Amino acid sequence: MAIQKKRKVLRTPFVVTVAAAASFAGAVALPGCDPTVQEGSCPAERPEEGSSCDADDVSCSYLDDCDNPIDYTCTGGAWQMGPEMSCNPPPPPECPEAFPETGSACWQIGASCAYGNPPDCPEPTIVTCGEDGTWSVTVAVSCNPPPPACPEATPEDGAPCAGGLGTCGYMMPTGCGPMPIDAACVLEGDTWRWQVHEVFCNPPPPEHCLTAATAEACAGLGPTCQWLVPGCADGDGAPALPAVGCFPSLPCETDAACPAGTLCQEVVVDPCGAASGDGATCAACGLYKNVCMPPSAATAAGK
């Protein structure tokens, strides 16, 4: 018995209805087809265009890869595909992941995005997609505290400092003129402290000799400095050096020959003392020597 088939106007969901003769019974529903379509008319999956079919004029509807409806018609024993709708690309993300640069292109005029909301900054910064198609800041919020500033004066080595300050540069006056030094704020244990990297002339100026507390430190300053030890002095001559210490090596006859802040004083030193530099054989315990020393030491020596 001939079966008449007609196309029904498609609505969502897309189905195909085939009217059967009243005498036909037992229609079976298949995926992708209306329940009234004869079994075997519509494949369960989308057929390939041009593949064979055996029920001319049967139309079946499917969804393409973009969920758009697409029709297939069996014509001349082969499936013919109807007009295919283009796939619209997915909309761009509502807001860029990173804070957009002012003036950069945006995707939807009027869209607003919020960025930044740290615990100490309750209000975020808002950017809006303007009519010109670019991002602009509409609510500016600055919650970042200014970075800690370097002290105006050179900090003392080992003094506490603000964490995260980094390195500060200074000019230090030396016997060779002002020279640059670095002061770095570093974490020592649980405390941030300054590490001041001083510089010295090479060789260092004579006044630096007075800062060395040990014979090793004095020797490290080079030939500009000498380590002297008190010698044995009698009561008729020059006094003994008041105490061991590091002194400038340059000879002096008057105070004018000494570095600023020191005085020229004749004292008795131990010729066997470290770095005496006089070539003594240590046969005696005393050697007369003119030494540039601080005023307090010169006073103690009897000047």
Helix, coil or strand: residue 72: strand
Selected residue with higher pLDDT from 7 and 44: 44
In this prediction, residue 228 carries a pLDDT of: 92
List all residues 6 or more positions away from 250 whose beta carbon is below 8 Å from its beta carbon: 206, 224, 257, 258, 292
Mean pLDDT over 40-60 rounds to 84
Helix (H, G, I), strand (E, B) or coil at 226: strand
Given pLDDT bands bounded at 50, 70 and 90, which one contains residue 121? low
Comparing 203 with 239, the larger pLDDT belongs to 239
> Would you state the pLDDT for residue 275?
43
Confidence of residue 122 (pLDDT cuts 50, 70, 90): low
Strands 78-81 and 135-139: unpaired
pLDDT band at 3 (very low <50, low <70, confident <90, very high): very low
* Residue 125 in this model has a pLDDT that exceeds 60: yes
CA 116 and chain centroid, separation: 18
CB–CB of 259/237 below 8 Å? no
Name the burial class of residue 200, with classes exposed (0-12), middle (13-18) and buried (19+) by CB atoms within 10 angstroms of its CB: middle
pLDDT of residue 227: 92
Put simply, whether the predicted model's pTM sits higher than 0.75 gets the answer no
Contact (Cβ atoms closer than 8 angstroms) between residue 149 and residue 126: no
The better pLDDT of the pair 167, 116 is held by 167
Work out the pLDDT band at 77, boundaries 50, 70, 90: confident
| Distance set, CA 148 to CA 121, 145, 161, 168, 171 (Å) | 19, 9, 10, 11, 20
Q: How far apart are CA 182 and CA 174, in angstroms?
A: 15
Task: Sort strands 167-172 and 69-75 into parallel, antiparallel or unpaired.
Answer: unpaired
Q: Is the peptide bond before 47 cis (omega within 30 degrees of 0)?
A: no
More confident residue, 233 or 76: 76
Q: What is the DSSP letter of 277?
A: -
In the block, residue with structure tokens 């002095």: 233
Give the Cβ contact number of residue 246 at 10 Å.
Answer: 23
Say if residue 266's pLDDT is above 80: yes
Residue 204: Cβ-neighbour burial (10 angstroms; 0-12, 13-18, 19+): buried
Residues 6+ apart with CB under 8 A from 16: 7, 8, 10, 33, 34, 37, 42, 58, 59, 60, 61
pLDDT at 24: 34
Higher-pLDDT residue of 120 and 215 is 215
How are strands ordered across the β-sheet holding 179-188? 167-172, 179-188, 191-197
Q: Which residue has the higher pLDDT, 90 or 8?
A: 90
